[in-house]
Amino acid sequence: MKKNGISIALLLLLAGVAIYLFNNKSTDVSTKVLNEFAIADTSSITQLFLADNDGNQSLLKKQPDGTWIVNDKYKARQQNVFLILRGLKNMEVKSTVPTEAIPTIIKQIAAKPIKLEVYQGGDKPTKIYYFGFATQDHYGNYALLEIPGEGKSKEPFIIKEKGFYGFLRPRMICIEDEWRSPEVFFYPEMNISNISVEYPNFPQESFSIDWKGKNDISLKRNDGSSFAKFDTLALKNYMLLYKQIYLETYNNKLNEAQIDSIYTQTSPRAILSVTDNNNNTTRAILYTKGFVDPFLRDEQYDNIDPERFYILMESNELAIGQKLQWDPLLVPLRTFNAE
């Protein structure tokens, strides 16, 4: 009986959240049909707020340099923001909803909507979108538009992005972690002054690179002493690898005990540090990744994941990186023919 009571309470709570998302700060306008979904000048958009009825919320803010951050904490995936902005600019009505189907579609949107509020400089949204599910052919989304001051449209529409064959709802990400930028080392302009590569188990292969631009480059041993001769071209090509290095995911799927065991029982595979021209340093510590799920373990690889590393970030988060991208960074000192 007690469990039934909890289940009923949970259902009521979720229903309440759905109603809140759909009706909060809204005025239903029974005499208006709002179908101006597109925003011509997306450069004027300063904030995007997304929410679903599972309690996930993401507030994206545009920064002075044109980049975006999520929930005032993390750099956001810029490409994902671009896709939303492109969709808003090119959004169009594919078709109306048959009159007899309107009540059903409105109920479906209200049951599990994704809400998008668009801000264009002010502290109040200029447009609010409620995205329902895709149409049966997956070439459109059911959606309802609200314009503050005018209210919510009395009718939903099937909308799409002009020139795009698909539907828009998957772009409307509400989960914070899914918005976080995967960038670790990101130096497209090569504004790098130093790279340090340390191998705790093989200190004789550790090295560091000092670069002051053009051919003013030096290679150093683990003790800080410099080499007189080395392969300059190989060293420069190695540095270019740091233009763009990403994580696969921040979700490591480990509990606290498993994370602690990695730190206490495992020596890092490598410690990589990059310092830019403004003296800002980014560091990543790489650990061998075993298989947590027994079903995935393979004795052929000594139960070690052949495709991924664990990567400890400066935020003390243990993330996952793909060896396909990170392995090229893990070269020994002898690669550069140092003398």
Give the pairing type, strands 114-119 and 183-186: unpaired
Cα distance between residue 53 and residue 51, in whole Å = 7
Q: Which of helix, strand or coil describes residue 270?
A: strand
Helix (H) or strand (E) holding 114: strand 114-119
Cα distance between residue 231 and residue 336, in whole Å = 5
**Where along the chain do its domains lie?**
12-179, 183-336
Per residue in 209-231, pLDDT (tens digit) is 999 988 899 999 999 999 999 99
Integer angstrom CA distances of residue 176 from 57, 133, 171: 7, 21, 13
DSSP characters for 120-151?
Answer: SSSSS-SEEEEEEEEPTTSS-EEEEEEETTTE
Residue 163, C-beta contacts closer than 8 angstroms, at least 6 positions apart: 90
Model confidence at 297, pLDDT cuts 50, 70, 90, reads very low
Question: 221 phi and psi, to 5 degrees?
Answer: -75, 175
Asked if residue 330 lies in contact with residue 221, where contact means CB atoms within 8 angstroms, the answer is no
Per residue in 52-96, pLDDT (tens digit) is 999 999 999 999 999 999 999 999 999 999 999 999 999 999 999
Asked if residue 44 lies in contact with residue 147, where contact means CB atoms within 8 angstroms, the answer is no
**Does residue 302 carry a pLDDT above 80?**
no
Cα distance between residue 85 and residue 62, in whole Å = 12
Report the predicted TM-score, pTM, of the whole model to 2 decimal places. Answer: 0.76
pLDDT (0 to 100) of residue 3: 46
Is the sign of the CA dihedral 320, 324, 329, 332 positive or negative?
Answer: positive
Measure the CA dihedral 257/307/201/233, to 10°.
-140
